Amino acid sequence: MNLFFEDVEVGAHYVTDAHEITSADIADFCRLTRDHHPLHTDEAYAKAAGFGGIIAHGLYGLSLMEGLKTELKLYEETSIASLGWNNVRFVKPILAGDTVRVEMEFTAKRASASRPAGVITEAVRLMRGDEVVIDAEHISLIRQKG
């Protein structure tokens, strides 16, 4: 799609394809980040802590949100930089076997004062069925057409 700043419509809503979280995904994230807390590696421990099984790291969910959003190819050649994530809330645990998707909506935009680009704001939610699992705001810098 390759949205430029001028193409972004505040209120536009997008939904990604679904993705199933696997135990292997969680294990890979443990290995990459060196975070081997038993909530992410030991099913009995996670169940004793009140979960239905091992849970994914909140940061895995946040990273997955960006990856799924990238698959929409909204800014394939127009993205300049992520400026950060705000108001990140890990609302519900993510378990191996969950199927999730991302729902996002443009909530604001403004031209950059220093370059031919614009700052856009997205409300981004990781969803499991009708449940919000992670809720966050993402700010990005994308190219203008000029």
- Per-residue pLDDT of 56-80, as tens digits, reads 999 999 999 999 999 999 999 999 9
Angle at 62 between CA 77 and CA 67, to 5 degrees: 30
pLDDT at residue 5 is higher than 80: yes
Query: Residue 45: what pLDDT?
Result: 96
Query: Residue 113: what pLDDT?
Result: 85
Beta strands in 13-98 (DSSP E): 13-15, 19-20, 79-90
The pTM assigned to this predicted structure is 0.92
Residue 127: both structure tokens together: 């969803």
Q: What is the pLDDT of residues 11-23, one digit of tens each?
A: 999 999 999 999 9
Domains identified in the chain and CATH numbers: 5-20+57-143 (3.10.129.10)
Q: In DSSP terms, which residues pair with 138 in a beta bridge?
A: 85, 122
What is the pLDDT confidence band of residue 98, given thresholds at 50, 70 and 90?
very high
CB 130 within 8 A of CB 15: no
What is the pLDDT confidence band of residue 1, given thresholds at 50, 70 and 90?
confident
Q: What is the pLDDT of residues 100-143, one digit of tens each?
A: 999 999 999 999 888 889 999 999 999 999 999 999 999 999 99
Query: Residue 141: what pLDDT?
Result: 96
